[in-house]
Chain A
């Protein structure tokens, strides 16, 4: 039998830790094309971001060491609390809407309906459209003076909100358009989850006399919990990073009423020349996302059931 690389591999499974560098050429060949760009365009900026966050810097004049000054400044600045609260409010409004809507759609389109494929494709279309387009189109639809939505609301005698010109409605306007865009994504993930639920479970439950409502709560929802977990984790991570639609629809206004964390990072850097604080804020955001994600992964045992 020939001496091959596989023999080396088999030996190493025996004592776990491979000691030889004889594969080095192949390792470099296969890994460098991804390792170099990840190093230069992710790891280096990551480390330098930490460095920048410890300085006062306007991107032009020399950096000035402030230690943790930027972090303590941010934590005492009421603007920080505002942008985090707006981001939280966005997530808190957006997540229940897309989950409930996506679940209803997934349940409906899991039935034997004519034109099911077409309907699924239709609901998914906004997902492939860019945030900027979605924000612009909805800004037009929600135009307070002559937008279609307010014309319709007016026609049936309902109040016409100022949407993106009214501080109270700017964030809801962003939530509404975001939910419209992402509904199809949630639907597809939940549909995939539904399709992996074995049909015999329902048959057995029917035999035992469970009604449709009980079957939904006792079978469908628990078996959907892995997909639900995925949707919640992804939506929270993306939700805390919301930027494009806010920037285009409201620009964080009116009067900062819809400014979110990433918008603040952008403004601090490119409008106010406070790159140090912007970097510190981005690390605070990252820390928050990390904590929330870890807590969810830890907590999943309590409610996520893998079939």
Chain B
């Protein structure tokens, strides 16, 4: 990270004036730092066995090389794939035809705001694809190419796609502002599907995809290691609360299957959120189990193609059936919830077993009709309902050392409409809650700039640039209200927001929502806690217990 400019230098380098050359003539920068590493050939080989024909030739290549070792018939493959998808997705067909280039979306993208690169304006990002559509598939584009901004598919065009469609986090902020709802995220998905067909991919997506398929989670944690980690967390919970919680794994005959993104199992600060879930469920004596086989809620398939998205999603219902669970409770995750909410039932609903029922809280009796088809409930819905019915004894003052703001994750915000439940939960578990400026939250929320498979260090500068809008809003509440913690409901956020905050708003830490729930949860009358879930002393208890060691994660 040494060659990354300081925050104020980076800020000064942003220029919103486009270059003098037209965009088709402006060359693309292929130097390292502008792209994620391509997938290791063995990952592709593995996936090609599972879903043949979608991946091109497995091979070693680098975007900085002149020769990307494309297959001989690459052009045909891409153009035919394009044609096929125009039929399969009205969104694609329509969005190719109706953009008026009004520019309303231009300054809505965090990558444009932080870089000033015109090809990061959603309208131009989509034009990278639309120009080819017009040149290859429309009469007007074929005859009047100069005048209509058309071009034919060429190697340079495909290379440009690779750079810019892996500089879009599919956050959909552009779509909110477009007068026709043109969703550049949708086009990014299609462009990535097409690139996969000829073997253009990134390792940070393909390795999780193949891991999810083999081990059930994106980190490749094997079942016994998974259990070890959970056991460590159980120990830590005992350390903090004195209570030894149950953490059922792969057990049959429970009512609820709990699935969370595996980022929560693996890394700081996700593990504290995971401990929060465990503590809450034990407190409620919930009849549930987790699974090592379905141990990933996040769906990395949605960053590659429809087929993988479906394949990975299907394991949730498969496991519910094997274990005999009636409904599924889902943890805090962004893209997992976009997939669960908008795709799951349509894709894999027919694989639901007959014993599944509309989620009903065993504690409050509330029936969640909103999830009648998927049978899958978001944990903040579940917890908000508990709080509303007074089923949780909470002591929000345990979070008094925290001044909290909330980051809406793009997917639940713009692909679902889950805005108030997490806020409701947060406001009940902490006394100091502050909103960031309205233009940066709720449906207008800004991306963490590491979603959709871009959460990798080789493109750190791009991520930090894209993180400017979020970071700046955070800095604002930090100065106005002394905010020192940003809560979120997404595992990718919990990973990506940390470097972002360190860079743009140093001093702010990141947490999940249920970590704060666990802090506030009063397990029994008169319970005294001296430390929070991170085993850091609560105010007034600073002297004790400061000799703890962090949990080991080597086994992961």
Chain A bound to chain B: no
Residues of B whose CB lies within 8 Å of any CB of A are none
